[in-house]
Chain A
Amino acid sequence: QIQLQESGPGLVKPSETLSLTCIVSDYSIKSGFYWGWIRQPPGKGLEWIGSIHHSGGNYRNPSLKSRVSISVDMSKNQFSLRLNSVTAADTAVYYCARMGPGAHDSFDVWGQGTLVTVSS
């Protein structure tokens, strides 16, 4: 059964870069699906960050686009998120998730989420 697990530092200093990896288990990332990142500030709603296909094609939320990069590593069966120039407003639980096979699909499998706090 497919599982997703986020990993990365739980604390990042302001102006630095947040880096997270999503490790996919029991499912090949090359199977043609899209993969995404979503975040949720404490006590608030959900915000889509961006999505990527194993071929490398990706698209990002324009509100974050200039600061976000998403990549995929097929050899390790994982995909990653980098968000630079972080501020306190980037403090959130970050989730990785699987989308369907199309560029327009819902998120059907989610990781458990990881809290990232931006603070000095």
Chain B
Amino acid sequence: EIVLTQSPGTLSLSPGERAALSCRASQSVSSNYLAWYHQKPGQAPRLLIYGASSRATGIPDRFSGSGSGTDFTLTISRLEPEDFAVYYCQQYSTSPFTFGGGTKVEI
């Protein structure tokens, strides 16, 4: 099983600042089958990035994904108030598909 480790656990920032979230895999994620989601309290996760760097439909361009192999990053260029949430990475290259433990982005 591929274990995904996200860091930091919590990121305290202000609106307008840049956020960089890390996701490290215990073994290589083939074909860059790595996705990012965010989740607000009481809501389902929402897909932001798939294929490590492709934005999902309707996702603003302040969100960008990068990385390959075992190291991936989600960058939010300028935080908007609605971006404060928990962010999860997920690998779908190898079954069982696994999620990271999450990074909370808080004000």
- Are chains A and B native binding partners rather than an unrelated pairing? yes
- B interface, by DSSP: helix, strand, loop or mixed? loop
Q: What is the bound-complex CA distance between A85 and B33, given in angstroms?
A: 33
| Contact (Cβ within 8 A) B44 A63 | no
Q: From B14-22, B67-75, B90-98, give the one contacting chain A.
A: B90-98
From B31, B44, B93, B98, residue with most partner A Cβ within 10 Å = B44
Is there a chain B Cβ closer than 8 Å to A27's Cβ? no
| Contact (Cβ within 8 A) A48 B98 | yes
Rounded to whole Å, the gap between the CB of A68 and the closest CB of chain B is 12
Is there a chain A Cβ closer than 8 Å to B46's Cβ? yes
| Contact (Cβ within 8 A) A106 B46 | no
Known: A46-B88, A46-B99, A59-B95. A104 touches B45 (CB 8 A): no
Chain A residue nearest to B36 (CB atoms) is A106
Rounded to whole Å, the gap between the CB of B93 and the closest CB of chain A is 6
Is there a chain B Cβ closer than 8 Å to A26's Cβ? no
13 extra A-B contacts, CB within 8 A, seeds A59-B95, A104-B33, A113-B44: A45-B88, A45-B101, A46-B90, A47-B99, A62-B96, A99-B92, A105-B50, A107-B37, A107-B47, A108-B50, A108-B56, A110-B45, A110-B46
